[in-house]
C-alpha cells in the first residue's frame, strides 16, 4: 500500500466517522431514506381497518406498497419492468 492510498483511507475513515457523528446517512439509497419518513404505525392501522393482510402468505401490504412506491419513483411502466429493476438492484 502506497503512502497516497494510506492517506486516502485515513481521510475517508475520518470523514465517515464525522458523518456518523453528524447522523448523515452513508451508503443508504434515497428510497430507503424516504421510507424512513413513512409512518408504519399509521399504515398498519389502515391495513387492519380494511383487513388488507387477511389472506396474505408472503407478500404483505407493506411489501406491496414499497414495491409500488419504488416503481412510481423510478418511472416503471410494467410489472416486468419493476421485477427486472428490483432483481438488478439485489
Q: How far is residue 84's CA from residue 76's CA, in Å, rounded to a whole number?
A: 10
The arithmetic mean of pLDDT across residues 22-34, rounded, is: 74
Q: How far is residue 66's CA from residue 60's CA, in Å, rounded to a whole number?
A: 10
Q: Where are the domains of the chain?
A: 1-26, 38-89
pTM for the full predicted model: 0.65
Q: pLDDT tens digits, residue range 5-26?
A: 555 544 555 655 555 555 555 6
Closest CA to 59 of 77, 79, 34, 31: 79
CA atoms within 13 A on the CB side of 3: 0
Q: Residue 1 pLDDT > 80, yes or no?
A: no
Q: pLDDT tens digits, residue range 55-85?
A: 999 999 999 999 999 999 988 999 899 888 8
Q: Residue 42: what pLDDT?
A: 94
Q: How far is residue 61's CA from residue 55's CA, in Å, rounded to a whole number?
A: 11
Q: Residue 3: what pLDDT?
A: 46
The arithmetic mean of pLDDT across residues 36-61, rounded, is: 93
C-beta of residue 36 within 8 angstroms of C-beta of residue 78 = no
Amino acid at each position: 500500500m502506497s503512502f497516497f492510498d494510506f492517506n486516502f483511507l485515513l481521510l475517508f475513515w475520518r470523514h465517515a466517522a464525522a458523518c456518523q457523528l453528524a447522523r448523515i446517512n452513508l451508503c443508504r439509497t434515497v428510497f430507503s431514506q424516504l421510507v424512513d419518513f413513512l409512518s408504519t404505525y399509521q399504515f398498519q392501522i389502515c391495513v387492519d381497518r380494511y383487513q388488507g393482510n387477511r389472506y396474505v402468505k408472503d407478500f404483505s401490504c407493506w411489501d406491496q406498497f414499497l414495491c409500488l412506491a419504488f416503481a412510481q419513483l423510478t418511472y416503471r411502466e410494467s410489472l416486468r419492468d419493476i421485477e427486472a429493476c428490483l432483481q438488478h438492484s439485489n
